Amino acid sequence: MKILLLYKDKQVREVLAFSLESKFQLDVAYAEDVKTAIKRLDDPAEKVCLLIFGYKDFFSDVLLYRASKRQGFPSVAIIEKDSKELAKAKSSDTRLKFVLLTNLIENVYKAVEELITEKAIEGMNSESEFCRIKTNVLLLTSPLKGDVYIRLSPVKFLKLMRQGDDFNDEDLYKYTTKKKIDYLFLKTEDSVEFVLKLKEQIAALMRGEAALVPVIQLEQVGEGVQPETMSPDQVQPKKIVAVKKITLPQVLAKDPDSVHEVLHEMSHRLGFTKEVQELAKVSVQQAVDTMKRNPKLSSLLSKLKRDKEKYISSHSMLAGHIACALASQMTWTSEATYEKLTLASMLHDISLRNQELAAVSTLDDLEEKKGKFSQDEIEAYKSHPLYGAEIAKRFTEIPPDVDIIIAQHHERPDGTGFPRGVTHSRIGPLSTVFIVAHDIVHFLFSADVSKEFSKEQLMEFFEKYKDTYTFGNFKKILAVVPKLDSPAAEN
């Protein structure tokens, strides 16, 4: 199932597409004109369930198409202002909704929800029923705020643990080490409570308050019985035999990218709700504190993994730490600077889901690999800096300029970058820091990720980019790259 978007303004179209994908967990396809739209609508393989279009440019043609369908095709028309002429159309066709361009995202959400409630869109739910959560993160949300499931197939889930159960080290060992299950699943309706609990735990741990984690003795389920084959009534009660304390470093040492993965998953499942925003802010503060306590890059990178299978979260965490290290060497060491760079690192690829696509660095790289991706994926990739910038604008109480850093993170000093193709003179100083950090991360991932970080890699990067970063702030920042493994500058 997918939504087809027919709208001329590219920026509005792309921001709306990301918002719809995040909210309704459906692919959004583009059409440049009515002819292409009708072709996709009439193709059963496209599985289009809803058309969203611009009233001003396409209304008459779309009406003709919808009239050819016995009941009309579920559609949302975007209008710039209301008028008396629209009143008759609004009242006579319940499968056609009109929304104002002002407050567009919220208005489209409401219209689509109405069509779902009215059963106008077949087979579409307003929310995906389940969302995944990193298994080790459950340690920080115990006792569980909702039931936890394992996925047996794309549509079948088995309940493993109930709301109120304690998740402990033995559970973690059983699922991640023995069963190789890195992700379990929650009901989407319960995920907000998990996000709130995780935020509270991280905030407490940052204050030095160790979390209490139960050590539990598992009752025997039966010889040879696997979690995947258990029925809910076979899950045996557990007995708490001890309680131990854990600290944030202990949790994150096992998987430093885990909190970012939760943030990434929940943003796609829930949208950027107040709770998800709060989790992002607490995570930013934790990362900044880590940088301030242990600023040597080699020390930071020894704790951060380069995992190509989890590229989005892994490289996002690395980019934030390296950007802060670069800023420190430039003596830009204010708390606000670190917060801006770290939040930008968490949000810059937040709209992407394809790990391999996220690892693409330049338009030339994208051209070489375009056969691996659909046209819709390619278009979404080219615009993802603007998506992330739009998300940053929705955050409340964050430092300014984060959206600019995100919007510019794929620009190049010579103007060959995207999405706007600006040159070094129009790229902000912190954006420049982040671009260089992002390039260092891409360089480190291109190397053998099994090898530990070394100073030699920094020199290799310096040599590779010395003829590229020859302009303004880029040249100045490149000059401090060889010093990155030195202690950071003092505040």
In the predicted model, is pLDDT for residue 244 greater than 60? no
Q: Among the ranges 99-103, 276-280, 283-287, 459-463, which has the highest mean pLDDT value? A: 459-463
- CB neighbour list of residue 203: distance below 8 Å, 6 or more residues apart: 282
Q: What is the pLDDT of residue 415?
A: 94
Residue 127: pLDDT band by 50, 70, 90 thresholds? very low
pLDDT tens sequence across 428-440: 999 999 999 999 9
- Indicate the pTM of the whole model: 0.61
Q: What is the spatial distance between Cα 246 and Cα 202, in angstroms, rounded to a whole number? A: 11
The residue ranges of DSSP E strands in 105-155, in sequence order, are 130-134, 148-153
Q: What does CATH list as the number for 294-483?
A: 1.10.3210.10
Per the prediction, the chain carries an average pLDDT of 77
Domain ranges of the chain: 2-117, 130-254, 294-483
pLDDT tens sequence across 99-114: 888 778 888 888 988 8
Q: What is the pLDDT of residue 28?
A: 85
Element (H, E) at 457: helix 455-465
pLDDT tens sequence across 168-197: 878 888 888 888 888 888 888 888 787 777
Q: What does CATH list as the number for 2-117?
A: 3.40.50.2300
In the predicted model, is pLDDT for residue 12 greater than 60? yes
In the predicted model, is pLDDT for residue 233 greater than 50? no
Of 2-6, 161-165, 198-202, 463-467, the range with the lowest mean pLDDT is 198-202
- Mean pLDDT over residues 25-29, rounded? 76
Q: Which residues pair with 4 in a beta bridge?
A: 29, 51
- CB neighbour list of residue 416: distance below 8 Å, 6 or more residues apart: 362, 363
- Mean pLDDT over residues 409-431, rounded? 94
Q: Among the ranges 5-14, 26-35, 433-442, which has the highest mean pLDDT value? A: 433-442
Residue 92: pLDDT band by 50, 70, 90 thresholds? low
pLDDT tens sequence across 353-395: 888 999 999 999 999 998 888 887 888 899 899 988 988 887 7
361 phi/psi in degrees, rounded to 5: -105, -40
- Mean pLDDT over residues 218-243, rounded? 42
Q: Helices marked H in 79-131 — which ranges?
A: 84-92, 104-117
